[in-house]
């Protein structure tokens, strides 16, 4: 007499999606075969709410095999971590006695793009909440400001160094600063309070608003026209009294000078440079000459300075950092 080889379907779902949001294949499976789980969960509740019984078995792999003996198939509803220890134990058991059952992995849902951003927000909330990290809880937007600059510069170094591996890490450090600032803002008074969702929401709205060539019927492939539309929309959004409004005044002086000269040029203003009566005005004139020649004065000075640094290390017989 032949015996039934039970097919055990390990149903894995994303903990970052609403419970019950499953593929059609997963819904067909849970409605066709008995469903078991190792513990109660939101996913189990969602299945029950839709007429699918879920039996909780607080047991090991052998206990599951005993419970499903004789069934053609059974569904094991994996927990948020995928029940990796249980699945490993069950897999080893079946490897030793392959005739007991067949193990199949089914994905009922997948993490959406950006899912780990939700994890980052969750971890930061834990760190910045009571009982978390005292250092992070003691910070303010002002005390964190230098770190945002430092992490941004390190990301810039990775970019100019064509080090994509380092860039991945450094962008994570920049993201940490963004998430921490947003988490601190949650603890402010109601009038000043905002969250990471407000930050992301404002960004999404801005991207859609300023890219009508993508999100509306307005179509153009011309980069200059796209840039002009961006600037026009930006001017309409922000009521400014001066062409210099909105410039980050804390940026390095050389970059600041180049940015101001760019705004003056874009505004078609005829403002003469000050007379060269001191080092500052001489440097400003050099920046103006660089822009007229189509050069980035900040990048040019950086390149020259780094070349000089290499010469210094060569004189010291010290190898340049990678």
Give the CATH number of the domain where residue 19 resides.
3.40.1010.20
Residue 206 lies in a domain: yes
Judgement on whether residues 208 and 256 belong to the same structural domain of the protein: no
Judgement on whether residues 226 and 284 belong to the same structural domain of the protein: no
Q: Is the pLDDT of residue 246 over 50?
A: yes
Judgement on whether residues 13 and 95 belong to the same structural domain of the protein: yes
CB 36 within 8 A of CB 67: yes
Judgement on whether residues 304 and 250 belong to the same structural domain of the protein: yes
Which whole number is the average pLDDT over 153-178? 95
Which whole number is the average pLDDT over 305-311? 91
The whole-number pLDDT of residue 123 equals: 96
Judgement on whether residues 223 and 156 belong to the same structural domain of the protein: no
Which whole number is the average pLDDT over 16-41? 93
Evaluated on CA atoms 72, 75, 76, 82, the torsion sign reads positive
Residue 134 lies in a domain: yes
Judgement on whether residues 222 and 252 belong to the same structural domain of the protein: no
Class of residue 139 by CB neighbours under 10 A (exposed 0-12, middle 13-18, buried 19+) = middle
Q: What is the mean pLDDT of the chain?
A: 89
Which whole number is the average pLDDT over 183-187? 95
Question: 74 forms bridges with which residues in the sheet?
Answer: 8
Question: What CATH number has the domain bearing residue 117?
Answer: 1.10.287.1080
Which whole number is the average pLDDT over 237-261? 86
The whole-number pLDDT of residue 2 equals: 47
Q: Is the pLDDT of residue 134 over 70?
A: yes
Residue 1 lies in a domain: no
Judgement on whether residues 98 and 146 belong to the same structural domain of the protein: no
How many domains, in total, are found in the chain? 4
Residue 276 lies in a domain: yes
Residue 31 lies in a domain: yes
| pLDDT class of 120 with cuts at 50, 70, 90 | very high
Judgement on whether residues 226 and 294 belong to the same structural domain of the protein: no
Q: Which of 51, 72, 107 is the last residue of a domain?
A: 107
Judgement on whether residues 199 and 145 belong to the same structural domain of the protein: no
Judgement on whether residues 57 and 22 belong to the same structural domain of the protein: yes
Residue 30 lies in a domain: yes
Q: Which is more confidently placed, 96 or 203?
A: 203
| pLDDT class of 59 with cuts at 50, 70, 90 | confident
The whole-number pLDDT of residue 82 equals: 53
Judgement on whether residues 235 and 251 belong to the same structural domain of the protein: no
Q: Domain of 86?
A: 6-107
Q: Is the pLDDT of residue 225 over 90?
A: no
Q: Is the pLDDT of residue 192 over 90?
A: no
Judgement on whether residues 10 and 94 belong to the same structural domain of the protein: yes
Q: Which is more confidently placed, 80 or 131?
A: 131
- Beta carbons within 10 angstroms of residue 271's beta carbon: 10
User: What would you measure as the largest C-alpha separation in the chain, in angstroms?
Assistant: 105
Q: Is the pLDDT of residue 190 over 50?
A: yes
């Amino acid at each position: 007499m032949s015996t039934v080889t039970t097919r055990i379907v390990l149903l894995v779902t994303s903990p970052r999606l609403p419970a019950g949001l499953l593929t059609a294949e997963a819904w067909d499976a849970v409605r066709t075969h008995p469903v078991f789980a190792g513990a109660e969960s939101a996913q189990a509740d969602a299945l029950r709410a839709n007429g699918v019984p879920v039996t909780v078995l607080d047991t090991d792999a052998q206990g599951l095999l005993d419970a499903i003996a004789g069934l053609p198939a059974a569904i094991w509803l994996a927990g948020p971590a995928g029940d990796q220890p249980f699945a490993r134990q069950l897999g080893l058991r079946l490897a030793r006695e392959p005739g007991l059952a067949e193990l199949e992995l089914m994905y009922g849902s997948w993490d959406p793009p950006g899912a780990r951003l939700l994890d980052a927000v969750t971890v930061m909330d834990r760190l910045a909440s009571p009982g978390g990290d005292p250092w992070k809880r003691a910070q303010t937007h002002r005390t964190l400001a230098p770190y945002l600059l430092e992490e941004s510069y390190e990301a810039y170094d990775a970019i100019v160094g064509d080090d994509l591996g380092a860039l991945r890490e450094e962008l994570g450090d920049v993201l940490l600063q963004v998430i921490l600032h947003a988490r601190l803002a949650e603890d402010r008074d109601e009038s000043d309070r905002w969250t990471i969702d407000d930050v992301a929401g404002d960004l999404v709205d801005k991207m859609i608003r300023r890219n009508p060539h993508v999100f509306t019927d307005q179509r153009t492939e011309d980069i200059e026209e796209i840039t002009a539309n961006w600037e026009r929309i930006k001017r309409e959004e922000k009521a400014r009294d001066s062409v210099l409004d909105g410039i980050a005044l804390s940026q390095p002086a050389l970059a600041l000078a180049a940015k101001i000269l760019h705004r003056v040029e874009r505004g078609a203003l005829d403002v003469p440079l000050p007379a060269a009566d001191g080092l500052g005005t001489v440097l400003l004139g050099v920046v103006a000459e660089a822009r007229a020649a189509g050069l980035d004065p900040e990048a040019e000075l950086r390149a020259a300075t780094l070349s000089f640094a290499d010469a210094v290390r060569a004189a010291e017989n010290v190898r340049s950092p990678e």
